[in-house]
Structure 1
Amino acid sequence: MRTAAVVGTGLIGTSVALALARRGVAVHLLDVDESAARTAAALGAGTVGPPPAPVDIAVLAVPPGAVGGVLAAQQARGLARSYTDVASVKSGPERDVRRMADPSCHIGGHPMAGRELSGPLASSADLFEGRSWVLTPTPETGTETLNRALTVVALCGAVPVVMDSAAHDRAVALVSHTPHLVASLMAARLEQLPDEASRLAGQGLRDVTRIAGGDPRLWGDILGANAAAVADVLASIAVDLTTAVGALRGLATDEADAREEGALLVADLLGRGREGRSRVPGKHGQKPSRCVPVHVLIGDQAGELARLLATVAGLDVNVEEVSIDHSPAERSGLVELVVEASAAPGMTRRLMEYGWAVRLPEPSGPDGPDGTGPARDTGGGPFRVPLAAASA
């Protein structure tokens, strides 16, 4: 593949363009917002404006409801030999394409990657590395179009997954769209958060509400395009919420039977939640490995996090996740480094040798604190301070 066009230079479109440009593809950027296209071009994503001749493939990075109309317009101008889109809903756009455009040179697509931020400045050429990228061919899809779309996926470092559009929409309703709505529902509870309560907010609240920071207009379009499937998932959650409310009301009473029943129901919900969480794939789609967090206390000054990460880079330990929780009352931060359980003790010892204050999780059974799940605690024991620091 030598040439491509990207229509829509937001987060996903610009990230696709950056990935293709990095692999030597000549990318042409088109957007109704020319300032967004110029920003993407300044980042190295390509050149602004239509190509002088049809490109190999055009990627339509537009909302689901716009795919059919944009495709028809770009086919009329002869933009590309093949077309794909990256909309997060597939059934509606597929119907629109059949009604409004030539479906033989189009294939639906959806890279399963994103951020809570939007716009070209949030983009990254590495956004799709190792992530699933769904393609939804139809009986009308031409072989050359499928092959060109597969090349785009490969050049972006993603893993192609071929699915039926309806099956895709049911799946993303559960794994993507409903989680965003639930995060927004939780975040909406914080609109009138008192100052004294805000000082108590920690990483758990940030984790639960992080994706609620997405663009409301974009997500309104996504939820509207997949409304029935999302409503089905939300209805099942509502049943569990009703059960949880009843169970907690029972726990709040003085009646022994109600308290016992409430405790059983809460335990069942929490157990099902942990079991469901264990189904979420780990890195590169693999089965989640048993990992533990190693917590490191750092000062809240410029360069401290970079110094820690430089130390970790020299330890030859594969870090699965990194997060930092700043203390609202003190000038310090708590960095969580998630690593394989077998690597944590050695890593802790080495970090202490380099002068870092480190904390390991509390002692646990074979699979966690109670022997039944991943050893991922949020508390842990006291910090293990290096001897030099302790004697200073």
Structure 2
Amino acid sequence: MRTALVIGTGLIGTSIALTLAERGVAVYLADADPGQARTAAGLGAGSAEEPPGPVDLAVVAVPPAHVAATLADAMRNGRARACLDVASVKGGPRRELAALGLDLSGYLGSHPMSGREQSGPLAATADLFEGRPWVLTPTPETDTEVLNLALELVSLCRGVPVVMDADAHDRAVALVSHMPHLVSALVAARLEHAEDSAVRLCGQGIRDVTRIAASDPRMWIDILSANPGPVADLLGALAEDLEATVAALRALESGDSEKRRAGAEGVERILRRGNAGQIRVPGKHGTAPRAYETVAVLISDQPGELARIFADAGRVGANIEDVRIEHATGQQAGLVQLMVEPAAVGPLRVGLAERGWSLRA
């Protein structure tokens, strides 16, 4: 790949352009908002000028509702040897293109499974896709050259290619992305009119659950409008679980010991089902989840403190597998939770204590 055209210079499009430009590909940028394309160009993502001729690969990174029309325009006008989109829904655009009577041998649908709560070119980074799954949805009619260009794009962006059927992809992202976003928004919505005294008690749990609710609603309306059926099916099943859980909790309020026992069993069932589902979430580097243990350390809110604790952990010989920070309300301090292999817990606690760190149980 020597030349590429990125159509749509939001977070994903600009991140792709930045990565390709860093690797020596001549990148051209186009956007319905020329000012946004110029912003991306100013960041080093490529040129906002029209390419002099057909490019090797056109990447369409526009909202789902506009993907098919944008692809159709690029394909009819011969703007590239191959066309690829990065929309979060895959079945709909392919069916729309087929209905328009276009030759689909030069098209391949894709979806990089990466993003941020922020949007727009200023939120873009060249390492956004590193180590992340990048779904490709070729069909028997997809030209081999097109598939090879798509694989080269994923490789240049340091993503991990995953080949799937388009409709299977849409059902999968409904489960692991679209439904969780709505659930996060529903939980966060309960905070909107909550008492200040309650909101001040927010800890890491509520922050984890509501983090993705901060995303742009306009973007998510586009995404959910393109995949409503699978998401509605999942939410319907979730609603049934919620109704059963509500009934179990009401039973715990009963003065009847038998009803309380049944209620406790109902709550336990849903919690154990949650345990069983959570352990299936892939762990580090996409491998099977590992059982790590936590070493909690009090840390002040000062420049260089995180770097110092990581350096001290390295001197002890402990590999930090994951890390979380729980901020203390109203204080310039917090707890850093260092996740390590069980065998590393003892040496890490001793080594950090010797270096003056205040550990918590």
TM-score band w.r.t. shorter chain:
over 0.9
Specify the alignment match of 2:143 in structure 1. 142
TM-score in terms of structure 1 length: 0.88
Equivalent-residue separation in structure 2 for 1:120 and 1:350 (angstroms): 43
Closer/same/farther in 2, CA of residues 313 and 62 from structure 1, 3 Å limit: farther
Match of 1:284 in 2: 285
Q: Which runs of at least 4 in structure 1 moved beyond 6 Å after TM superposition?
A: none
SS of corresponding position for 1:212:
helix
How many matched pairs?
Answer: 360
Name the structure 1 match of 2:45. Answer: 45
Deviation digits for residues 131-172 of structure 1 (CA, Å, limit 9, x no counterpart): 111111123211111110011011111111111111111111
Moved more, 305-314 or 152-161: 305-314
Query: Do the aligned partners of residues 63 and 253 (structure 1) sit closer, same or farther apart at CA in structure 2, a change above 3 Å counting?
Result: same
d(CA) in 1 for partners of 2:105, 2:113: 24
Which residue number corresponds to residue 32 of structure 2?
32
- Compared with structure 1, are the counterparts of its residues 316 and 51 closer, same or farther at alpha carbon in structure 2 (3 Å cutoff)? farther
Partners of 1:31 and 1:321 lie apart in 2 by 38
Distance in 1 (alpha carbons) for counterparts of 2:353 and 2:98? 63
Report the CA distance between 1:225 and its aligned residue: 0.9
Please report how far the alpha carbon of residue 277 of structure 1 lies from its aligned counterpart in structure 2 after TM superposition. Answer: 0.1
In 1, the alpha carbon distance for the partners of 2:157 and 2:316 equals 30
CA contact (8 A) 2:137 2:164 kept: yes
Q: Name which of structure 1's ranges 248-257 and 13-22 shifts more when overlaid on structure 2.
A: 13-22
1:164 alignment partner in structure 2? 165
Where does 1:235-246 land on structure 2 (aligned, <5 Å)? 235-246=236-247
Which residue is equivalent to 2:153? 152
Output the CA distance in 1 between the equivalents of 2:295 and 2:19.
Answer: 33
Query: Is contact 1:72-1:102 (8 Å) kept?
Result: no
2:7 is matched with which residue?
A: 7
Task: State the shift of 1:186 in Å.
Answer: 0.6
Shift of 1:79: 2.2
CA–CA distance in 2 between the matches of 1:296 and 1:277?
Answer: 26
Match of residue 329 from structure 1: 330
Counterparts in 2 of 1:40 and 1:339: CA distance versus 1, 3 Å: farther
Output aligned runs, 1:48-67, within 5 Å: 48-67=48-67
Give the alignment of 1:223-234 within 5 angstroms: 223-234=224-235
1:355-374 equivalent positions in 2, closer than 5 A: 355-359=356-360
1:127 positional shift: 1.6
Counterparts of 2:344 and 2:19, CA distance in 1:
33
Give 1:294 deviation, angstroms.
Answer: 2.0
**1:81-125: CA deviations, max 9, x gaps?**
101111111111111122234312110001111122212222222
Q: Which moved more, 1:240-249 or 1:343-352?
A: 343-352
Q: Does 1:212 align with 2:213?
A: yes
**What is the distance in 2 between the residues matched to 1:49 and 1:295?**
52
Aligned to 1:301: 302
TM-score normalized with structure 2 length: 0.95
> What is the percent sequence identity of the aligned residues?
57
Q: Which amino acid in the other structure matches residue 90 of structure 1?
A: K
1:50–1:79 contact (8 Å) kept in structure 2: no
Residues 94-133 of structure 1: pairs in structure 2 closer than 5 A: 94-100=94-100, 101-133=102-134
